[in-house]
Structure 1
Amino acid sequence: MLTNKNSLKRRLQIVELVRKRGEVSVEELSQAFDVSSVTIRSDLTYLEQQRYLLRSFGKARYLAQKSGEDILVPASDGAARKSSETLIARIAAESVGDHEAVMLGAGEIIHKIVPFLADRANLSLLVQDIAIAHTAQRFLHCELLLTGGQLENGGTAMSGPDAEASVARRQIDVCLLQASGLDRDGNLLAADPALARVAHAAARAATRTIVLAYQPLLDERSGKVFASAADVDMLLIDDGIDPPTIDTMARHGLTLERREGGVVEFRRD
């Protein structure tokens, strides 16, 4: 069940859910938010009047916003996202123990994990992103290694055959990776194909794989597959995930646990 503290929050979540999926039925929304279909229809009427979506035959379709138009997102939305990402990072860090060899992939949530590892003893850290390596030097006293590889498009994350080979030949106890999307088959996606290949090599090499995501696009065209939910040990995500995706995780053997702050944890028993 999705969080439903008030009608504004529910309507924000409806817009985001419809945006991700493109089209959602009234029945699906009613089940997702645990409210009556009458309440959902009232929400959809309001959102259609405000031109955030279109209604058609018992379904809601996303209406893309034009540049400069007001959107149904409060001013604090950016701060709320940062807070949620930090919470996801903290929960992920709880799975890292002393004396472990850890691989950190690329992404803002991955970057936020570093300070939460400050009290771990004798970590060996393999880092793909130069910016994350700089942060690790500030907060951690541990063995710090870079994957190597090449930088593309002015970014700080390394990729390419050298990075993939570096990751593949190392012993990794746990790798932490960030997904930008996932599809209906439970595949985890990275927006950049080059980064996806490094993430794939890390997931194959690691004893445990943890994937983090904030509002991932639920679209098989939104990126390159780097792992399946069947291959990971944990998926941490915000509570905007929809019921069909929850069912997909369950089919891949992951058990749902709701954590504080609206974070959803799928863990392999």
Structure 2
Amino acid sequence: MLASKSSLKRRLQIVELVRKRGEVSVEELSQVFDVSSVTVRTDLTYLEQQRYLVRSFGKARYLAQKAGENILVPVADEATRKALELAIARFAAEAVDDHQSLMFGTGAIVHKILPFLADRSNLALMVHDIEMARTAQRFLHCELSLTGGQLETGETILTGPDAEALVSRRSIDLCILEANGLDRDGQLLRTDPEVARLFDVARKVAKRTIVVACQPQLDERDGEAFANLADIDALLLDDGIDPPTMELMPQRNLMLDRRESGVLEFRKEVS
């Protein structure tokens, strides 16, 4: 169910108020935002589920993060992270239709999408990760191609000017890329500058671009931008996104569609 812009804005303001004061009562929140206590309790239930705060005896208390953490959500254990990645991959796969020309960028989540496409027909898939090409050969009946480019010793990922040139000449219906980071200006980041440059080329030539991410880092110093939220058609990530980042989405014309299994999908609003 889509949250209205007014309720989303109010919930973000509630989190900020509770963060500043440490603890605020339901009655006080009702007066501050001029809404009923029922509405406030609904807001607090949602915010507690998203781990922004905790409720206790008619009050809301801020849920502090561990010192030094520079991520959207508390770090999940390995099993939880893998489950989140798989859920994100499953929903991303729904965007792929028969007869499409695809470009898949490297990444654990994007790699997990491939088995979900086993029943698609007449796909033309281009990848720049040799391991992903091997997985595609196992699960898909499709036209498969590698970008070419430079391959560092011990690596499986192809990058460089040759890869960028080949991608720039292709007709791509759908590009699915994976972000390592997301900064406060809405820039989507990759830790490897060479991968970021290839991703930038791919999303510019693609008719549609979907970006996936799981617990992306927030520090722009640790990554290279390959797109802005305003440049893409959809973003799929886990539901621990923090309020300031959540507020970026409608500003970039991306509207929330909450999926199952702790996955958020932000889709470009069609005017």
Q: TM bucket by the smaller chain? A: 0.7 to 0.9
How big is the alpha-carbon RMSD for the aligned residues of Structure 1 and Structure 2?
2.5
Amino acid at match of 1:171: S
Unaligned residue ranges in structure 2 (runs of 5+): 1-17, 24-43
Give yes or no for the alignment of 1:129 onto 2:129: yes
Provide the rounded CA distance (Å) in 1 between the counterparts of 2:22 and 2:210.
Answer: 29
Q: Judging changes above 3 Å, is the alpha-carbon distance between structure 1 residues 123 and 73 closer, same or farther for their aligned structure 2 residues?
A: closer
Provide the rounded CA distance (Å) in 2 between the counterparts of 1:218 and 1:73.
Answer: 13
Provide the rounded CA distance (Å) in 1 between the counterparts of 2:222 and 2:266.
Answer: 22
Q: Judging changes above 3 Å, is the alpha-carbon distance between structure 1 residues 28 and 166 closer, same or farther for their aligned structure 2 residues?
A: farther
Give yes or no for the alignment of 1:62 onto 2:68: yes
Q: Deviations over 1:157-201 (max 9, x none)?
A: 110001111111100000000000011111100010000000000
The alignment partner of 1:162 has SS state of helix
Q: Deviations over 1:72-98 (max 9, x none)?
A: 978xx2111111101100100100100
Residue 80 of structure 2 corresponds to 80
Residue 226 of structure 2 corresponds to 226
Provide the rounded CA distance (Å) in 1 between the counterparts of 2:101 and 2:21.
Answer: 43
The alignment partner of 1:217 has SS state of coil
Provide the rounded CA distance (Å) in 1 between the counterparts of 2:146 and 2:175.
Answer: 14
Provide the rounded CA distance (Å) in 2 between the counterparts of 1:152 and 1:28.
Answer: 51
Q: Is the Cα contact below 8 Å between 2:184 and 2:245 reproduced in 1?
A: yes
Provide the rounded CA distance (Å) in 2 between the counterparts of 1:40 and 1:89.
Answer: 34
Q: Judging changes above 3 Å, is the alpha-carbon distance between structure 1 residues 222 and 63 closer, same or farther for their aligned structure 2 residues?
A: closer
Provide the rounded CA distance (Å) in 2 between the counterparts of 1:123 and 1:175.
Answer: 13
Provide the rounded CA distance (Å) in 2 between the counterparts of 1:172 and 1:248.
Answer: 28
Q: Deviations over 1:43-102 (max 9, x none)?
A: 55xxxxxxx84xxxxxxx4379xxxxxxx978xx21111111011001001001000000
Q: Judging changes above 3 Å, is the alpha-carbon distance between structure 1 residues 28 and 239 closer, same or farther for their aligned structure 2 residues?
A: farther
The correspondence of residues 83-122 of structure 1 with structure 2, limited to 5 A, is 83-122=83-122
Q: Deviations over 1:90-136 (max 9, x none)?
A: 10010010000000100111110100111111000001100000000
Give yes or no for the alignment of 1:40 onto 2:55: no
The alignment partner of 2:120 has SS state of coil
Amino acid at match of 1:189: L
The correspondence of residues 1-269 of structure 1 with structure 2, limited to 5 A, is 26-27=19-20, 32=47, 33=52, 35=54, 40=61, 44=64, 53=66, 61-62=67-68, 77-152=77-152, 154-269=154-269
Provide the rounded CA distance (Å) in 1 between the counterparts of 2:218 and 2:61.
Answer: 22
Q: Judging changes above 3 Å, is the alpha-carbon distance between structure 1 residues 63 and 218 closer, same or farther for their aligned structure 2 residues?
A: closer
Unaligned residue ranges in structure 1 (runs of 5+): 1-24, 45-51, 54-60, 65-71
Q: Is the Cα contact below 8 Å between 2:189 and 2:196 reproduced in 1?
A: yes
Q: Is the Cα contact below 8 Å between 2:100 and 2:173 reproduced in 1?
A: yes
Provide the rounded CA distance (Å) in 1 between the counterparts of 2:262 and 2:86.
Answer: 12
**1:28, distance to aligned residue in structure 2 (A):** 9.3
Provide the rounded CA distance (Å) in 1 between the counterparts of 2:251 and 2:205.
Answer: 24
Amino acid at match of 1:167: V
Amino acid at match of 2:164: E
Which structure exhibits the higher relative contact order, with contacts defined as CA atoms closer than 8 Å and separated by 6 or more residues?
Answer: 2
